[in-house]
Structure 1
Amino acid sequence: MPLVNGKVFHPQWSTHHQPTAAGTMTGVCRVWDRSAGPPIGLDGPGPNVLQAHGVPCRVQELHSLGDSTGQAAGQEITQRRYLVTVPIDTPVWFKAGARGHQIEITRVTQGGDPMLKGRRFDVAQVLTGSEAWERDLICVDNQTQNEAGADEG
């Protein structure tokens, strides 16, 4: 039997479920705007490009998206891809690429991986959709140059 109004989703479906998605975000991050540099894989951005802090997040490694190992300037580089999710209403208009945003994990909850704190992820893709519970960001972890204990502030 067809639906009376022909609608599969209630108009507030995503809004209703966004708190559930946010409840899965057990990490905390800050967001850097790297449009002014330095490019990805180099030193961390300065405090003047901090766009958001205290942002709830969830971090998950993506095994199927083509991790890579290679050489650049005589140095071995290993990269891994991660899905980083933040609330859909995070006040950042995310940009991807060499001059895009960078996510730095500042806190993980008890039981979370302590090695995650301080890691930086360069935003490679910003995923969008007509129904969204969270902001999905495909990020790159440059494991060769990604060390915890970077600038605090």
Structure 2
Amino acid sequence: MPLPNHRLIHSRFEAHHRPVSEAAMTVTGRLLRPSETGVRDPATGTTTFPDPALIYSGQARIRANSGAQGMQADRIVAVGGYLLVLPAETPVPHVRDVWVVDGCDGDPSLPGVRLRVVDVPRSGLSWQRNVGCDIEEPINRRG
């Protein structure tokens, strides 16, 4: 129990840890938001979708997760096979957004990989934005 009128966590905790977290971000890429609305061509029977919106472009960190489902607050949550760590100031991703890896200092096989966002946990104390992702599977969109 903290002393009265004292914070349990120092007020500069986040400011101290943000540069440390961002220094470990060795991946560059783009966070894209695919459009949900397409335009159907009745003559050909195909639906075309506009290019995804760019939400963020910059540095990140990726690490493998267990990829299992878990319980949190009596709710089943998807943990995702990968943890994508973005800078804290990054706009909040949405489920189904896509992270496209453009470059990676530590793993030359990572560029070109596309990760689909499956979980966006929130926190009152945040020096980085953690995002649960899975490898993006091709989607067959039918109109």
Scaled by the length of structure 1, what TM-score is found? 0.67
Q: CA-to-partner distance for each residue in 1:60-117, whole Å, 9 max, x for gaps? A: 1112526xxxxxxxxxxxxx71000000101x23111xxx3110110111xx111110
Match of 1:128 among 122, 132, 142: 122
State the Cα RMSD in Å.
Answer: 2.5
C-alpha spacing 1:81/1:2, structure 2 compared with 1 (3 Å) = closer
- Summarize the Cα distance change of 1:64–1:34 in structure 2 as closer, same or farther, 3 Å threshold: closer
Structure 1: 5+ residue stretches without partners: 39-44, 67-79, 146-153
Larger radius of gyration: 2
Q: In structure 2, list runs of 5 or more residues that go unmatched.
A: 39-48, 70-79, 139-143
> When the two structures are aligned, how many residues end up with a matched partner?
118
Calculate percent identity across the aligned residue pairs. 25
Letter in 2 for 1:135: R
Counterpart code for 1:10: H
Normalising by structure 2, report the TM-score: 0.71
1:70 is aligned to none
Confirm or deny: 8 A CA contact 1:35 1:101 kept in the other structure: no
Distance 1:127 1:2, change over 3 A: closer
After superposition, the Cα gap between the structure-2 partners of 1:2 and 1:81, relative to the gap in structure 1 and judged at 3 Å, is: closer
Shift of 1:46: 5.9
Aligned ranges 1:72-87 → 2 under 5 Å: 81-87=81-87
Alpha-carbon offset, residue 37 of structure 1: 6.1
1:101 aligns to what? 97
Distance 1:64 1:118, change over 3 A: closer
| SS at 2:120 equivalent | strand
How has the CA–CA distance of structure 1 residues 120 and 28 changed in structure 2, closer, same or farther, with 3 Å as cutoff?
same
Counterpart for residue 148 of structure 1: none
Structure 1 runs of 4+ aligned residues shifted over 3 Å read 1-5, 45-48
State yes or no: 1:31 paired with 2:31. yes
